[in-house]
Structure 1
Amino acid sequence: MVDKSEKFSWLVRIGYFSRAILYSVLGLIALTNAGQISEGTDGIFKAIEDFPLGSLVLWLMVVGLLAYALFRFCSTFFDIENHGSDTIGWGKRLGHAGSAIGHLALAYSAFAFANGSGGGSGGGAQEAAAGVLSIEFGGLVIGILGIAFFLAAFNQAKKAYTASFMNRIAHGAPSQTKLLGRIGYSARTIVFVVIGWSLMKAGFGSSGASQVKTLGDAVASLAGNGTLFTLTAVGLLIFGIFSLVLARYRIIPDLGKDGRVPSFRA
């Protein structure tokens, strides 16, 4: 009989697989189709929709992205990866919260396309931001979310430099896993900084919700930056490949009483 922790582990692995599809398609679109990447996140899901069995893939991504968001929320609130409750630990956990919210938005976008209502993913994020901004202290909430993305970006850069992600990858992973991860996390650092800055401008500045960027929008905003855009696109494609490795070899902490201590590699 499969226990709850094992079911959770399989859901998270589907999440990593969904993330692999997402970033691989994003990188490919950015490198090969300037018109489609200008559509932001919508362009990613439109491309997936055109795959053979594209609708089935989109529904798989809905489940996977929701599962990945749940995993990151569990890391934030229950500290299942044992980051601790000091300043550094909470910095990492808040970064995971930003990642969780971002993947919830992506899951909603995937659902819109899978359900046939399609389109408007960037607009949906902007509408949500506008709704938050309309309430008391809404700007503070959006601004704090922007800070969470900056913390996530810092964490991505740290992973790229230290390769600490290898601690949570099981033996047997391909020999190039470390290199793939370093390149991929470097590219994600750039994207998270763009998203975080857009949220901070919306929350603490006067740019308004229309400037809030999702994953695809952030990449599209780099299109006029030549080499930086190309390197980021290649890095995101590599991050997709790296995520596929994680779907198989990532060590997923248990949800049981010992779940707070991850099983590190020797």
Structure 2
Amino acid sequence: MAETRLWLEWLARFGYAARGAVTLVVGLLALLAAVSPGGDVTGSRGAIQTIFTQPFGVALIAIAAAGLFGFALWRLCQSVLDADGRGRDAKGLAVRLGQGVSAVTYLGLGIFAVGLVLGRGGGGADENESVRDWTAWLLTQPFGRWLVAAVGLAVIGAALGMAAQAWTARFREELSCDARAARWVVPLGRAGYAARSLVFLLIGGFLVLAAWQSDPSEARGLGGALLALQAQPYGRGLFGLVALGLAAFGAFEFAEARYRRIRPPRPEAAAAAVMRAARGG
């Protein structure tokens, strides 16, 4: 049993590193676009494709895919099994719901990466198109506009949570590093959370706009939100700061891979959680 928990811990750390690599590429490409015409503003799937085109790209993406699946599994443990001890109150359930959404997101990224390795090309690489597709589907459902608006407001809520992390550096509580390491880890985390907060605020705002106008073309993914920011009057400087912040968050994820407190659930606790879920509470 101890070996299983140790295996899950290392898989989670590997996942944080893979997530960091993808985010770092997104930030660096955006930073290049901010300072020269040679950059490419893209989201996570575009970053994976960029890695794929590099020397040894197939091997790198295969490794990244394993890490992304590992991160998705860890997020699932955090969400379903409450590995972080968030509890079952409203705040804890909201955090765990967000972790569950993150698990699905990184599972999808892992599947996309595997598709590249297997030679299936870059189908579905446009994150904006994917976001618009599911927004369009959601709008066709009963109370669809309300559902899209609810998703948008949830994303805005997550953005505000990231802003709080940037302001308070509360993420430090989940890290096990000495004061010397904290001097560079904490600023990276604050800059990263601040940048992600602004990007997610834009994504949520676009979803609310899509709901208001009942127009899925208004929805944006990560790359679309960055492009919208870049296109604003006097937005180039802010865009450069956000790009730098995203790169900082990528570096921070590598620090999380090293220093984060990982508490894999015990098998008996996991079984009890599954039984509670099967009983509906």
TM-score in terms of structure 2 length: 0.80
Which of 91, 94, 101 is the matching residue for 1:91? 94
1:171-222: CA deviations, max 9, x gaps?
35723111111111111111111222233333x3225333332222322221
Instruction: Measure, in 1, the Cα distance between the counterparts of 2:221 and 2:64.
Output: 17
What letter matches 1:118 in structure 2? G
Are residues 1:153 and 2:159 paired?
yes
Q: Structure 1 stretches of 5 or more lacking a match? A: 260-266
Instruction: Work out whether residues 65 and 111 of structure 2, in 8 Å CA contact, stay in contact via their aligned partners in 1.
Output: yes
SS at match of 1:222: helix
**2:122 alignment counterpart:** 118
**1:24 alignment counterpart:** 24
What letter matches 1:214 in structure 2? G
**2:279 alignment counterpart:** none
Instruction: Work out whether residues 95 and 151 of structure 1, in 8 Å CA contact, stay in contact via their aligned partners in 2.
Output: no
Aligned length: 259
Matches within 5 A, 1:122-133: 122=127, 123-133=129-139
**How far apart are 1:25 and its partner, in Å?**
0.6
**1:55 alignment counterpart:** 58
Which of 79, 82, 95 is the matching residue for 2:82? 79
**How far apart are 1:65 and its partner, in Å?**
2.2
**2:250 alignment counterpart:** 240
Q: C-alpha root-mean-square deviation of aligned residues, in Å? A: 2.7
Matches within 5 A, 1:199-218: 199-202=207-210, 204-218=211-225
Q: Identity percentage over the alignment? A: 33
Instruction: Measure, in 2, the Cα distance between the counterparts of 1:102 and 1:148.
Output: 15
**1:144 alignment counterpart:** 150
What letter matches 1:217 in structure 2? G
**1:189 alignment counterpart:** 197
SS at match of 1:226: helix
SS at match of 2:213: coil
Instruction: Measure, in 2, the Cα distance between the counterparts of 1:194 and 1:66.
Output: 27
Question: Which moved further from structure 2: 129-138 or 192-201?
Answer: 129-138
Question: Which moved further from structure 2: 124-133 or 238-247?
Answer: 124-133
Instruction: Work out whether residues 79 and 100 of structure 2, in 8 Å CA contact, stay in contact via their aligned partners in 1.
Output: yes
Instruction: Measure, in 1, the Cα distance between the counterparts of 2:8 and 2:68.
Output: 13
Question: Which moved further from structure 2: 26-35 or 108-117?
Answer: 108-117
What letter matches 2:194 in structure 1? S
Matches within 5 A, 1:3-14: 3-14=3-14
Instruction: Measure, in 2, the Cα distance between the counterparts of 1:109 and 1:125.
Output: 15
**How far apart are 1:105 and its partner, in Å?**
4.0
Change (3 A) 1:136 1:207: closer
Change (3 A) 1:126 1:61: farther
**How far apart are 1:107 and its partner, in Å?**
3.1
Change (3 A) 1:194 1:103: farther
Instruction: Measure, in 1, the Cα distance between the counterparts of 2:110 and 2:150.
Output: 22
Change (3 A) 1:42 1:96: closer
**1:264 alignment counterpart:** none
What letter matches 2:74 in structure 1? F
What letter matches 2:260 in structure 1? R
What letter matches 1:22 in structure 2? V
What letter matches 2:165 in structure 1? K
TM-score in terms of structure 1 length: 0.84
